[in-house]
Amino acid sequence: MTQKHSAQNKSQDNIIIVGCGRVGAEMAVSISHQNHLVTVIDANPRAFDRLGPDFQGRTVQGEAIEEDALKRAGIESAHGFAAVTTSDSANFVAARAARDIFHVEHVVARVYNPRRAQIYERLGIQTVASSSWGAQRIEQLILHPGLQSVFSAGNGEVQLYEISVPEDWAGRSLDSLLSGANAVPVALTRGGRASLPTRDTTLQAQDIVYLSATAENAAIFENRLRGNRKD
């Protein structure tokens, strides 16, 4: 049975979310507030309680891998599809159906086992392994507290770091911070104005530098900013 929470607007993109756990519910509410039509599928009707009274989308009771449930959700005209149940296998099957049978343009599957993520991605399914991202984020906070990650790509392999330049780094070049590290300077903010820096850019105290780098290279920046650098 499908419950309609609001009238459908045909001009809206239909985004289907399979799984109304904490992740699925948070996504559904957030996307619906951005003026998209969101349809949530879950086998347990009580799971829809997580959506709250302000949710403006639709709900469909059914299994993630049932073609009938997918069709009732409007998958034949869906713009995006996210499978975020607690089952990796169910997420993969549902994502494959959305991509290969119904030709949904944007399909993502959540996986709990990072090893499966590599297999699924080789088969053309974009995945998010939340456990891997969470582990890397916790590691960063423990090992590199001087760096703030403001964006994470993929499953956290590459991150965008925000660095506040300390007083003792004033007058040094950006290259001296990046030397020997696998990193790309993205932006520099100084006095409220942003610019595209080069490695020759001279740093000033309180500059905000944004660097794209792997998590492994965060230790290099952290050591240098703390003064444990080799000149």
What average pLDDT does the segment 86-103 reach?
Answer: 93
pLDDT value, residue 135: 63
What average pLDDT does the segment 108-115 reach?
Answer: 84
The DSSP annotation for the chain comes to -EEESS---TTSPEEEEE--SHHHHHHHHHHHTTT-EEEEEES-GGGGGGG-TT--SEEEES-TT-HHHHHHTTGGG-SEEEE-SS-HHHHHHHHHIIIIIS--SEEEEEESSHHHHHHHHHTT-EEEEHHHHHHHHHHHHHH-TT-EEEEEETTTTEEEEEEEPPGGGTT-BHHHHHTTS-EEEEEEEETTEEE---TTPBP-TT-EEEEEEEGGGHHHHHHHHTT----
Q: Which of 45-54, 137-146, 155-164, 185-194 has the lowest mean pLDDT?
A: 137-146
Q: For residue 14, name the pLDDT band (cuts at 50, 70, 90).
A: confident
Write the pLDDT tens digit of every residue in 117-167. 778 878 888 888 766 666 665 555 555 555 677 777 766 778 888 888 888
pLDDT value, residue 3: 46
Q: For residue 5, name the pLDDT band (cuts at 50, 70, 90).
A: very low
Q: What is the pTM of this model?
A: 0.61
Q: Which of 55-69, 155-169, 214-228 has the lowest mean pLDDT?
A: 214-228
What average pLDDT does the segment 77-81 reach?
Answer: 92
